[in-house]
């Protein structure tokens, strides 16, 4: 079984959701340092968006991945499901979870700054965005 979490980049919201599912994160993330210490967090290049990122395997042997899909999350979720189906994978052996609805506006602003190479502003906005997303997602997984 494989689970794919989708968000804009695959290295922000979906990564937090995946890490929470794997039980790797506490209910309260604490400082910016703790959020940025999540393996793979914000560690991305825009040209690589779309490449699945392996986060880990849970106790039930479910492999967890994240995928960045930019703004067209519903379309890319359909494409991911269809592609996996075409690869001959049996129905029920994969799950695509769209975490895009949890993406904070702060994160979106942070990504714009990241694209503009304004690193300090980007990190600050992404941190505040991650805090908000963390609270929403932690309520599901804790």
Partner 1 sequence: MKIIYHCYGGAHASVTAAAVHLGWLPTDRLPDNEELKAIPHFDRPTAEDHGRIRLMGEDESGREIYIVGRRNEAQVFENMARGLMDIYKQSEDEFRFFDVMPYINWKMVLGGFTSRRMGITWFGRPVIISGVKYSYWPIVGLVQRVKVVTAAGQKGIKN
Q: Return residues touching partner 1 (CB under 8 A).
A: 2, 47-52, 65, 67-70, 72, 74-80, 82-84, 86-89
Residue 18 — φ and ψ, nearest 5°? -65, -45
- H or E element, residue 96: strand 94-98
Neighbours of 8 (CB within 10 A): 21
Residue 131 — φ and ψ, nearest 5°? -60, -45
Residue 64 — φ and ψ, nearest 5°? -110, 125
CB of 92 to partner 1, least distance (A): 15
CB of 2 to partner 1, least distance (A): 7
Q: Which is nearer to partner 1, 29 or 68 (CB)?
A: 68
Q: Which is nearer to partner 1, 2 or 123 (CB)?
A: 2
CB of 66 to partner 1, least distance (A): 11
Q: Which is nearer to partner 1, 68 or 110 (CB)?
A: 68
Q: Helix, strand, or coil here: 94?
A: strand
Report the C-alpha gap between 89 and 6 in whole angstroms.
19
Q: Which is nearer to partner 1, 31 or 45 (CB)?
A: 45
CB of 60 to partner 1, least distance (A): 18
Return the bridge partners of 68, or none: 7
């Amino acid at each position: 079984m494989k689970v794919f979490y989708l968000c804009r980049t695959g290295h922000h919201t979906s990564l937090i959701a995946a890490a929470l599912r794997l039980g790797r994160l506490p209910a309260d993330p604490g400082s910016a340092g703790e959020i940025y210490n999540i393996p793979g967090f914000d560690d991305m290049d825009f040209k690589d968006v779309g490449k699945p990122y392996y986060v880990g395997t849970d106790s039930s042997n479910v492999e967890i991945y994240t995928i960045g899909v930019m703004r067209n999350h519903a379309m890319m979720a359909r494409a991911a499901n269809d592609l996996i189906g075409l690869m001959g994978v049996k129905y029920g052996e994969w799950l695509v979870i769209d975490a895009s609805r949890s993406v904070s506006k702060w994160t979106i602003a942070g990504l714009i700054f990241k694209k503009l190479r304004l690193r300090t502003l980007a990190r600050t906005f992404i941190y505040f965005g991650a805090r908000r997303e963390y609270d929403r997602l932690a309520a599901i997984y804790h």
